[in-house]
Structure 1
Amino acid sequence: MLKNKVSHCQMQALCLRELSRVFAVVSALLLLVCQHAWADDDWKVLGLQSINDEQSGGLFIERLYWQGDHVDQLFYRCPEQLTVYPIHSCDKAALSFEYAGQKFQVAGKTRFDWSDKHWMADVKLSDANVYFKLDSADPQVLMNLDKVNPLMLVERFVGLPEWARSIGMEFSGLVTHHLLSGQSSTQEASFSGLDFEYSTDIIVAGLGGTISAELDQSGQQMIYQITLNQGEMLFDQLYVNFVAYPVSIRGQLAGLFTDEITFSTAVNNRQSLQSAVTGVIRQDELIIRKVDIKVPDSHHFNQQILASVLRIYGFGQTEMSGGFSLSAAFDPAGVLTEWQLLLDDYYLLNDRRKLQADAMTGVVNWGAQQPVEHSQMRWQQLVLAGMPVNQSQVEFIYLADQFALNGIHEFPVFDGSIQLRDFTADGLLSDAVDLSLKATIAPISLRLITEKLGWPEMSGSISGDIPGLVKRGQVIEFLGGLNLAVFQGQMKVDNLSMERLFGVAPVIAADISFSGFDLAQLTETFGFGRITGLLSGEVNGLRITNWKTDRLDARVYTVKTKGVKQTISQRAIDNISSLGGIKGAISNTFLRFFDDFRYQKIKLSCVLHNSVCQIGGLKNQGNQFVIVEGGGIPKINIVGFVRSINWEEFIDRLLNANYGN
């Protein structure tokens, strides 16, 4: 792939160089026809004959040597019976010759004044709209191309590589070539319909615009400017529609036709792109030395350029605004040594990935080996996985594949905060990333978290410590237990792992235990009906795939505690009984006049596998089990009669029960 990209760069110089050779050959032939210059040391003629008859006059040369090159079977004829001396003029002159195995013919006007050795020629290739204008008083050859593919001219004279022969285009413009200096140039020539395809890596269709170029063969340099405003291009994963996103390309090549070509190229779009690249070409190897990219309008740049690439990596429909710039430097071998990213009032939003950045400003410095300056970023608001990080800033060091926060950072989240005391990452460029993290969560309202995530609104708060974690490939594993304070109790999460958290079909696995949950706060959160007491339990082997639970082994139960009432409301009993396969003991009796009942114990268990929950509780006998065991007078029990329950149906009833009524 690299070899072909390099070849594309060299084609610009190759075409101009070979076209110059075409100019020189045709010019030399016309010169010989009109002027007896074969005494020059640069020229050698074999088989020279003069051809004259009653109808026309002409000249035949079997072989002509000129500056190390030669043509064969050269034949000049004027069909008109005109004066040869002292002035020869022919309005319908014809010249044919063979070169590089190909036969060529030109026709047009010629004029020669033998007295002052002044000659002129204005001719056209017989099989292409290519016009030449020459004057012995001016060493500059003019060649006008009208909707011609210049590569086909090069192919006829010197040949082209196989991949270049399929390039189609139309070129119109005036090209000049100086016979003495070897300089060629074209100004504001137009081209259109440039089509080319190389496998699926490089595809251009209908490319068009203008080109200006100056080629100095003796100095081995070329300066060019190209405007692209037609057609489209697919380059690897980058798609550009040049009608919607016209660009101008300015460049310079030095050391042409040598083993090492140096180049500098600037690609600009008037609204949203300023870029420059420098480097060298050594045979078939392209070596980049420096890259500078500035995007003052990222909204426009994203719409026209970035969106197609982001969509491939699963970040389609990303919005952005503001500006950014990127600069990169490389060592003599073309290996990246450092880069810097600057953000200026940058905004990004991707609803699907739950990512957002508002008014982000700062600089990211990266170095391959040498220490770099600290990086700093600040923002008005940052949203990661749906969680908002309010106005704050961060300072860090990014060296090779290592990242480390510089000092302790506290990030406000909702009405609380997350304090990072230590955060480092090693192997960021590898499949296995080692993360070291120590953090503390100051109380954050569960109501705000669940509202943001679209979950049933919960009261209470979450707080605790976060231990270290490690990321290998797309799997994140927490080291040790995650301790949280929630619902006035304690929760511990062990063996927590997350796979493809922001990708397709994310998987979360964990073992959870909790104790001392305030049942009153928990049941009020869901409007289930008031239950008081303290709840404990464990959820082992929990696995959530694509945000749906598909495996668990869970038990929840109340723990009798001195000074804590254990009561259940009639409304809670009715809601439990409405879930299916469960029956309370109230019915239409005088017990309906009671609002609350005391209970002795509550227990419920579920082993989920293949979308079926094997449910249980207290006193499991056959298909019957007790969920709530009453206590006191009046005494009530809640009993289940179905041990196997479809999990999706059960959750749907649980979440959509009309608790408010």
Structure 2
Amino acid sequence: MSSLPDCLRGAFLALTLATMPALADMAFELRFDRLSVAAVTLEDVRVEAARLGGGQARIRASRVHVAGHTFQQVQIDCADFSALAQRRCRGGVLRARGYGPWPVEFETSGRQRRVDARLQVARDLRIDVSGALGGTHPHLTLTAKSADLARLIALQPALPSPLKDYSPEGRVDVEVMLKDFGAERSPRAEARLQLADARFASADGLRAADGMSLAIAIDAQRTGEDWSGRAVVDWQAGELLWDGIYLQGGGTAMAGDFALAAREVEWRAGRLDLAGVGRLNLEASFTTVPAAMIRARLEGRAFDLAALNERFIAPLFAARGWPTFVLSGRADLVADFDTQGLAAAALRLTDGAVGDTVGRWSFDGVDAELPWQREAPTAPRAAIRSARFGQVPFGAFGLRASVGREHVSLEPVRIPVLDAGLRLNLLDFRKSDGRWRGDLSFDLEPVSMPELSEALGLPRMTGSLGASVPHVSWRDGVLALDGQMLIRVFDGYVAATGLRVIEPLGTTPRVLADLEMRYIDLEALTDTVRFGRVTGRLDGDVRGLELLGWRPVAFDAHIRSSAGDYPRVISQRAVQNITALGGPGAAAAIQRSFLGFFERFGYRRIGLSCVLRGDLCEMDGLARKGSGFVLIEGGGVPALNVVGYNRRVDWPELMARLARVTDAKPVVK
């Protein structure tokens, strides 16, 4: 036992003096340079008694040492003191510098010097000591029933002040037994604590507990100057909030063997049972001066990832503002630590699954071996049965990587997607100047648009979609495209330049880019969105595109007919839908005129522009016409010009109108 409660130290002083041989029934004064008994040593001791057979007495010591703690100016005043056959102190008062006054009584008797002592620290806190100081097996037992936890902690000056700052409350039953103490012996100590209805809270409210029920058992034995033993902690009930992690007691217990030397503490064969999650085995050793870890090893087998994530990982990430994930499957974990921190780790996943909480992406059927070493590169690998990004499914694929202390790189891989494949040419992360930087390059093989549109829940599209991304960099939380990303769609292409995605995994990612569309087949496009048939080609430019949380908040867009010689025909339905975007009335005017007899019209040019700021779109067309602007310039017979008059359009309302005229919900991403 490395320490005894402070409130007992004065009592042990009195017990020590009470064991002195009786001298005579007379007043006397004694002085000793040093006295020792059990785990107590007294220095500069002075005893004054009116008579040894009963009467007043005062016992003083300049210093009292108990298990490494020193107390100054310890004093016991006894109203009725005896040092004869029955040694006793009745009506006593114990004081020390910073402690007391506390009522105390004790008595010893018999050849084995049986002890019975009572120390009243407070009205609701009484400590009893009983046992035998002599004989073959000397022993002492300390008990305190339903003691006030806050009062007990206040008695311990060795405890760190932050613990006291948490304002702990509750009741605790304490039983401490010291056995076989004395010279040339190996004493044993046993402690049992039962905490009931305990609670605490930090000033900021981020760490708190309520209704805690905790059982602690410690058995230890001293050999020479060292102690060794076993400790068991059983969290039986209650709630705990610690930096965003919320836990409930019941089924959570920790046990292990320990060894205490002068400057080192070792924890052996430790285990931590987490209810519903699994068991974590642990071993560790620490220095005491200064307090530091020497080594540690954690090992867990067949952890339930869903339960582990729900109880620990997700709350911890959320409390720190990190993105959270959905996890399931089983995991084995081994981690080794040294004086510099994590030295090596290995994680094995079996039939795992991971995805973000809003369903944007997921990986399923994951079997992986993920080793890591601080001083040497490792080669993690994984086999993934299926994946999903948005509504687009990906087939089975395998991943192989090289991981070092300051670099992570993935081998090139082809990932099946629908009837094509995504070729990942480069994925490399390196640490430079204390920051991680990444580089990415990939190509998307032409994907069937009918299959892709079906997967996305969009109207059926024709043709194919392909893309080439020569290089994307990751710097300080920003994904940036170097050069041009080319997407082939509707027999034309869309090129993106200056593309940047800021905090892509955050709650409100921000996207910046410029887009260039060239030679888009209008017939394929309008047939896809059921807009009404339009033949021809379309060019477009979108400058200063900005998305916040994947929704557009700013851009300067211009759409116009492509140059060249090709058929240019627009159906009446397409005309009606274009005019309907500007508000009710224009389409009805067409139907009331003689133009309502025609199903198709020729046109010379189409042009539309929108400057978006916030939720307001400033619209324009090919040219001004009166108070309006020309959207379609007619050509052929009959000639039809479509003019818009509403220049300021609410963007959400414009999207709602587009959804109505296409009989589909547009997805702006």
Letter in 2 for 1:348: V
1:323 equivalent in alignment to 2:330: yes
1:224 is matched with which residue? 231
CA contact (8 A) 1:273 1:293 kept: no
Shift of 1:588: 3.7
Q: Within 2, Cα distance between the matches of 1:199 and 1:212?
A: 30
Secondary structure of 1:574's match?
Answer: helix
8 A contact 2:176–2:192 mirrored in 1: no
Letter in 2 for 1:175: V
- Tell whether the 8 Å contact from 2:216 to 2:234 is kept in structure 1 after alignment: yes
- Is 1:51 matched with 2:36? no
In the other structure, the counterpart of 1:102 is: 100
8 Å CA contact 2:143–2:176 kept in 1: the answer is: yes
Query: Aligned in 2, Cα 1:99/1:654: closer, same or farther, shift over 3 Å?
Result: same
1:144 is matched with 143
Q: CA deviation at 1:635?
A: 3.0
Which residue of structure 1 lines up, in the alignment, with residue 580 of structure 2?
578
Equivalent residues in 2 for 1:113-152, closer than 5 Å? 113=110, 117-127=111-121, 128-135=125-132, 136-137=134-135, 138-149=137-148, 152=151
1:483 deviates by: 1.0
Measured against aligned partners, the alpha-carbon deviations of 1:540-593 in whole angstroms (never above 9, x if no partner) come to 22222233323222222223655x432211211221222226847844455434
Distance, in Å, in 2 between the alignment partners of 1:390 and 1:341 is: 24
Distance (whole Å) between structure 1 residues aligned to residue 387 and residue 627 of structure 2: 52
Deviations 1:253-289 (A, max 9, x none): 4445x44444455322243132225241444543363
Out of 413, 425, 441, the position equivalent to 1:421 is: 425
2:341 corresponds to which residue?
335
Q: Could you tell me how far apart the structure 1 residues matched to 2:163 and 2:614 are? A: 59
Residue 375 of structure 1: how far off its partner (Å): 0.5
By how many angstroms is 1:429 displaced? 9.6
Does structure 1 residue 503 correspond to structure 2 residue 506?
Answer: yes
Please report the TM-score for the alignment, with normalisation by the length of structure 2: 0.82
Alignment-derived partner of residue 636 in structure 2 = 632
What corresponds to 2:352 in structure 1?
Answer: 346
Shift of 1:456: 5.8
Paired with 1:559 and 1:572, the residues of 2 have a C-alpha distance of: 18
Once residues 148 and 216 of structure 1 are traced to their aligned partners in structure 2, the CA distance between those partners, rounded to angstroms, is: 26
Deviation at 1:611, TM superposition (A): 4.0
Structure-2 change in CA distance of 1:566 and 1:277 (3 Å)? farther
Please show how residues 487-502 of structure 1 align to structure 2 within 5 Å.
487-502=490-505
Q: Greater shift after overlay, 441-450 or 564-573?
A: 441-450
Look up the SS of the partner of 2:534 in the other structure: coil
Give structure 1 stretches of 5+ with no counterpart: 1-15
Equivalent-residue separation in structure 2 for 1:209 and 1:458 (angstroms): 64
Equivalent residue number for residue 274 of structure 1: 279
CA 1:533–1:208 in structure 2 vs 1: closer, same or farther (change >3 Å)? same
Q: Secondary structure at the match of 2:518?
A: strand
- The answer to whether residue 365 in structure 2 is matched with residue 367 in structure 1 is no
User: 1:9 maps to what in 2?
Assistant: none
Q: Tell me, yes or no, if the aligned pair for 2:76 and 2:92 is still in contact at 8 Å.
A: no
- Residue 551 of structure 1 is matched in structure 2 by 554
2:241 is the alignment partner of 1:234? yes
Partner of 1:620: 624
State how 1:8-27 maps to structure 2 within 5 Å: 17-19=2-4, 26-27=11-12
Matches within 5 A, 1:163-562: 163-165=162-164, 166-178=167-179, 179-180=181-182, 181=185, 183-186=187-190, 188-200=192-204, 202-216=207-221, 218-221=225-228, 223-243=230-250, 246-256=251-261, 258-263=262-267, 265-275=270-280, 276=282, 278-283=284-289, 285-287=291-293, 289-294=295-300, 296-312=303-319, 318-332=325-339, 334-352=340-358, 354-372=360-378, 374-384=379-389, 387-406=392-411, 408-427=412-431, 431=435, 433-446=436-449, 449=452, 458-559=461-562, 561-562=564-565
How far 1:463 sits from its partner (Å)?
A: 0.5
Q: 1:388 to 1:184 in 2, by over 3 A?
A: farther
Residues 314 and 325, structure 2, Cα contact 8 Å, conserved in 1: yes
Aligned amino acid, residue 250 of structure 1: A
- Would the aligned equivalents of 1:418 and 1:440 in 2 still touch at CA under 8 Å? yes
Deviation at residue 58 of structure 1 after TM alignment: 5.1
Deviation at 1:290, TM superposition (A): 2.8
Question: Secondary structure of 1:361's partner?
Answer: strand
* Cα deviations by residue, 1:190-215 (Å, 9 ceiling, x for unpaired): 12244444544654444321111124
Amino acid at match of 2:483: G
**Cα separation, partners in 2 of 1:298 and 1:46, compared to 1, 3 Å:** same
SS at match of 1:296: strand
Q: Secondary structure at the match of 2:657?
A: helix
TM-superposed deviation, 1:61: 4.8
Is residue 281–residue 287 contact of structure 1 (8 Å, CA) maintained in 2? yes
Q: Which residue of the partner structure matches residue 41 of structure 2?
A: none
Residues 430, 445 of structure 1: alpha-carbon distance in 2 compared, 3 angstrom cutoff: farther
Q: How far 1:362 sits from its partner (Å)? A: 0.4
Within the candidate set 7, 10, 18, 1:33 is matched to 18
8 Å Cα contact 1:45/1:61 also seen in 2: no
1:522 and 1:141 mapped to 2: Cα distance?
91
Following superposition, the deviation at residue 652 of structure 1 comes to: 2.3
Query: Structure 1 CA distance, aligned partners of 2:601 and 2:109?
Result: 124
Name the residue aligned to 2:109: 112
Instruction: State the AA in 2 paired with 1:29.
Output: A
- 1:227 and 1:345 map into 2 onto residues whose CA distance is 32
Amino acid at match of 2:171: E
Q: Per the alignment, do residues 71 and 511 of structure 1 end up closer, same or farther by CA in structure 2, a change over 3 Å counting?
A: closer
- 1:659 and 1:568, CA in 2 relative to 1: closer, same or farther beyond 3 A? farther
Number of corresponding residues: 624
Q: Deviations over 1:150-191 (max 9, x none)?
A: 785685586655444454443214321133247453365312
In 1, Cα distance between equivalents of 2:163 and 2:508: 45
- Contact 2:94/2:104 (8 A) holds in 1: no
Distance 1:273 1:58, change over 3 A: farther
Q: Read off the aligned partner of 1:235 and give its amino acid letter.
A: W
Gapped regions of structure 2 (runs ≥ 5): 24-29, 37-43, 67-72, 665-669
* Percentage of pairs with the same residue: 22
Closer, same or farther: CA 634–461 of 1 in aligned 2, 3 Å:
same
| Matching residue within 590, 593, 596 for 1:592 | 596
* Residue matched to 1:8: none
Structure-2 separation of matches of 1:429 and 1:360: 34
CA–CA separation in structure 1 for the residues paired with 2:383 and 2:336 = 25
Aligned pair partner of 2:654 in 650, 653, 659: 650
2:64 maps to 1:63: no
Show the counterpart of 2:27: none
Q: Secondary structure at the match of 2:2?
A: helix
CA–CA distance in structure 1, aligned partners of residues 163 and 576 of structure 2: 80
**Structure 1 residue 425: Cα displacement:** 1.8
Compared CA separation, residues 317 and 656, structure 1 to 2 (3 A)? farther
- Quote how far apart the aligned CAs of 1:360 are: 1.4
**CA positional deviation for 1:649:** 2.7
Closer, same or farther: CA 97–438 of 1 in aligned 2, 3 Å: closer
CA–CA distance in 2 between the matches of 1:479 and 1:503?
Answer: 22
What is the rounded CA distance, in whole Å, between the counterparts of 2:104 and 2:143 in structure 1?
A: 14
